[in-house]
Amino acid sequence: MKENPQSRLPTLRLPDGTVIYDSPVICEYFDTLHGGDRLIPTKWPERLVALRRQSLGDGMLDTC
């Protein structure tokens, strides 16, 4: 609860102490770290496909 008010995984702590939580937010952060292809594309319909897959994965983890 101290680092993640949702008290759930995933939680990512950066070297500077910043805490990022929730899979979509962490994926967006990872996309800022490189100049190559993005994990979540910016153009439709590719972006829609990636976001739907992300939502499906989150839903599957929530049922565990």
Could you read off the pLDDT of 14-26 as tens digits, one per residue? 999 999 988 889 9
First-to-last CA distance in the chain? 20
For 1-64, strand residue ranges (E) read: 11-13, 19-21
DSSP character string of 27-63: HHHHHTT-SS--SS-SSTTHHHHHHHHHHHHHHHHHT
Structure confidence at residue 43 (pLDDT)? 94
**Which percentage of the chain shows pLDDT scores above 90?**
45
* Rounded (10°) CA dihedral 16, 21, 25, 30: 50
